Amino acid sequence: MANGEDFEIRILNEDDLKDVLDLMLSSNYFAREPLNRGLKTTADDFFEDMKPVIRTSLTSGVSVGALSKQTGELVGMRLSDVVAREPSKCIPKDSPKTENAQKMKMILSAVPPAEHLFEDPQVERILRTLFFTVDSKYTGKGLVTKLIQACHEAAIAVGCQVVYTVVVNSSLQRSLEQLGYKLVHTRELGLPKYQGGPLLHLEEMGDNLTIRGYVKDLLNDTRRQSHL
């Protein structure tokens, strides 16, 4: 995978599990994510549910991380899995164990799952983004773009035609759009029609009040590159 000046970008695997879990805590992933703030959750609400999901993502061959060349520390990551049209190993679908985890699942179900992309007969394999975080000490160094691009390379290498990601963080939305992601679904959390869903403390979420589903077409990217 491509290397930055100060960072190594590489595929993550099962041996990286401890470093991945440590980064999710040290980067304040839970405190920074808008839906976590809106639900006033803590790491304890999700950690047991997340561990099997993270373990599976690390066997997918499409999860990527950024490591500091100076310290060897994992400072950013984009965890993903592959959803195939034919049955395959993917993320476990156990019911969430905590109330807040159940609420989170209900909120995110407001946009369609990755599998709806199989309506396109050309799509056989989908890269589905699960978690994305960069340690706040390393923001502004281009790691978001490097991790997304490395994830695309990994997805193409395992035969994925598209990438599907659901985000609430508005700053990440801008990065995705700059890299050619197409907005295909939205759900406004602050609208009256959302009432009846889990209570959200919208005042804690800033301007991050929209769930957005994005698709990146890797087929077209591959075709363009082959004609260069």
Domain that holds residue 221: 7-226
Which is more confidently placed, 136 or 213?
213
Neighbours of 206 (CB within 10 A): 12
123 within domain boundaries: yes
pLDDT tens for 151-183 read 999 999 999 999 999 999 988 988 999 999 999
Domain membership of residue 2 (yes or no) is no
12: nearest Cα among 67, 92, 71, 88: 67
Residue 225 phi, psi (nearest 5): -65, -35
Across all residues in the chain, what is the average pLDDT?
A: 86
What is the number of domains present in the chain? 1
This prediction's pTM: 0.87
Question: How many residues are there in the chain?
Answer: 228
pLDDT band of 226, cuts 50, 70, 90 = very low
Please report whether residue 141 resides in a domain.
Answer: yes
List the 162-167 sheet strands across, edge first. Answer: 7-11, 64-68, 74-84, 125-134, 162-167, 210-217, 182-188
- Is 81 domain-assigned? yes
pLDDT of residue 181: 97
In a domain, 85, yes or no: yes
Q: What is the mean pLDDT of residues 111-131?
A: 95
For residue 159, the domain's CATH number is 3.40.630.30
With respect to residue 1, please indicate whether it lies within any of the assigned structural domains.
no
Would you say 184 and 150 are in contact if contact means Cβ atoms under 8 Å apart? no
pLDDT in tens, 199-210: 788 899 999 999
Q: How far apart are CA 56 and CA 128, in angstroms?
A: 12
Whether 75 is covered by a domain: the verdict is yes
Taking each helix axis as running N to C, give the angle between helix 143-157 and helix 218-226, from 0 to 180 degrees, rounded to the nearest 10. 80
Q: Is residue 187 part of a domain?
A: yes
- pLDDT, one tens digit per residue, over 68-106 is 999 999 999 999 999 999 865 555 556 677 787 888 888
Burial (Cβ within 10 Å: 0-12, 13-18, ≥19) of residue 108: middle
